[in-house]
Amino acid sequence: MPKSNCSDCTCRLANEVGQLKAIVNAQSKTLAKLVRQMRDGCKKDEEPKECTLCGLNPCLKCLQPDILYHLGLDTETTDFPKVFGDVRFVCMGGTPGRMENFAYYVMQEIGLKINAATKLRDMAEAGKRFSLFKVGPVLCASHGMGCPSISILLHELIKMMYHAKCKDPVFIRIGTCGGIGVDPGTVVISSEAVDGRLNPAHEILVHGISVQHASQLDEGLADEIKMCHDPDKDNFDTVIGRTLCAHDFYEGQSRLDGAFCEYTLENKQTYLEHLQSQQVKNIEMESLAFAALTSRANIRGAVVCVAILNRLNGDQIKTPHEILAKWEKRPQELVARYIRKTLYFNENDNLSEEPEDETDKRASQGAAGDTQKAPAEEAE
């Protein structure tokens, strides 16, 4: 009897060891897949990679090389599929500083690391116009102010996605805005972009003739980003609404404090109240070009901006810089959560847990994109 007890026990132990091994094996496979995804971006070996963008200039394939002048990059000296082929998220905002900060922040949020003695390289430095940082599958670019500036950047980034054969990249603008009837500090996610006449189209002149491109944004993406807001944790509101895109900060936004002003306070109040009655929640200066160019290329796009004042209460921005800096992080937090969720909690991947293991962190060291040595710079 004692003998058979002992063999029962051995048998049970052997079973448990077997089960544990199976669990460890399954987890190692998941970890390996995760590390591969972080390194290589989206599912590489499913099918031969072709770009998923639509409606692009048919002459692009004839441009050998294609020079992305304002980014200081070209297809002859840079191997686009190798360097940018893994990009899944293209995030953009007005200033180089904001986008560099966001690059470091998103790196931490998605569990990537670079050596403490390196810093992220501005990949568009040679162009001397925009800044561009790459953190694994996330590209972070500054776009300057206004539709002409962001449209130049978008033409070149969309061509980059094409040459790099990127699959379904998502574009997100992370910005600031003037709120319409929303408390300062509120994050506004745009449902669509409209011009000063509330027309949902970006107008450009081609050969002197007006051409209008629809400025719709991806509703599903807006909802997904909104769902990343946690009302229990975040001490700010997040709303979805229409965004008015102006071509100027002063007269185009009905301010009374520009160098010129040929209307009255009453005219301004009437206009802003009309906007509010038409579900316009904010005013900024890039969403029309952003929405039009992304949707023309069949790219899912979202605009996520924090309101730095309520325009119904005034024009001047009196909030201290330290507070503005904190508010500026709010859209970044939501977008970084969205990226993290998309990378690690993708239903198709059946992943229920994000990586906590040091293995991931070690494996991803130096995988945060292009880096260059800098003396004793900390990544965070």
Ligand X SMILES: O=P(O)(O)O[C@H]1O[C@H](CO)[C@@H](O)[C@H]1O
Ligand Y SMILES: O=c1cc[nH]c(=O)[nH]1
**Site of interaction with ligand X (CB under 6 A):** 93-94, 145, 175-176, 249, 284-286, 305
Beta strand extents in 311-376 (DSSP E only): 371-373
Q: Choose from ligand Y, ligand X, none: what does 93 bind? Cβ within 5-8 Å by kind.
A: ligand X
Beta bridge partners of 296: none
Q: Is 255 annotated as a binding residue?
A: yes
Q: Choose from ligand X, ligand Y, none: what does 145 bind? Cβ within 5-8 Å by kind.
A: ligand X
Closer residue to ligand X, CB minimum distance, 80 or 130: 130
How would DSSP label each residue in 171-214?
EEEEEEEEESSS-TT-EEEEEEEE-TT---EEEEEETTEEEEEE
Q: Is 371 annotated as a binding residue?
A: no
Q: What is the dihedral of CA 358, 362, 364, 366, to 10 degrees?
A: 140
- The sign one gets for the Cα dihedral 317, 132, 218, 213 is positive
Q: Is 173 annotated as a binding residue?
A: yes
286 binds ligand Y (CB under 6 A): no
CA–CA gap between residue 227 and residue 337 (Å, rounded): 10
Q: What is the dihedral of CA 304, 308, 310, 313, to 10 degrees?
A: -170
Token pair of 92 as six digits: 């953009």
Q: Choose from ligand X, ligand Y, none: what does 185 bind? Cβ within 5-8 Å by kind.
A: none
Spacing of C-alpha 356 from chain mean position? 24
Q: Choose from ligand X, ligand Y, none: what does 253 bind? Cβ within 5-8 Å by kind.
A: ligand Y
Taking each helix axis from N to C end, the angle separating 321-344 and 96-109, rounded to the nearest 10 degrees, works out to: 40
Q: What is the closest distance, in whole angstroms, from the C-beta atom of residue 280 to ligand X in the complex?
A: 15
310 binds ligand Y (CB under 6 A): no
The footprint of ligand Y on residues 138-177 (CB under 6 A) is 176-177
Q: What is the closest distance, in whole angstroms, from the C-beta atom of residue 319 to ligand X in the complex?
A: 13
Q: Is 98 annotated as a binding residue?
A: no
Q: Is 129 annotated as a binding residue?
A: yes
Exactly one of 72, 178, 301, 355 binds ligand Y (CB under 6 A); that residue is 178
Q: Choose from ligand X, ligand Y, none: what does 192 bind? Cβ within 5-8 Å by kind.
A: none
Q: What is the closest distance, in whole angstroms, from the C-beta atom of residue 253 to ligand Y in the complex?
A: 6
Exactly one of 121, 234, 240, 249 binds ligand Y (CB under 6 A); that residue is 249
CA–CA gap between residue 215 and residue 129 (Å, rounded): 25
Binding site for substrate: what residues are annotated? Answer: 253, 255
Interface with ligand Y by CB under 6 A: which residues?
Answer: 176-178, 249, 253, 283-285, 308
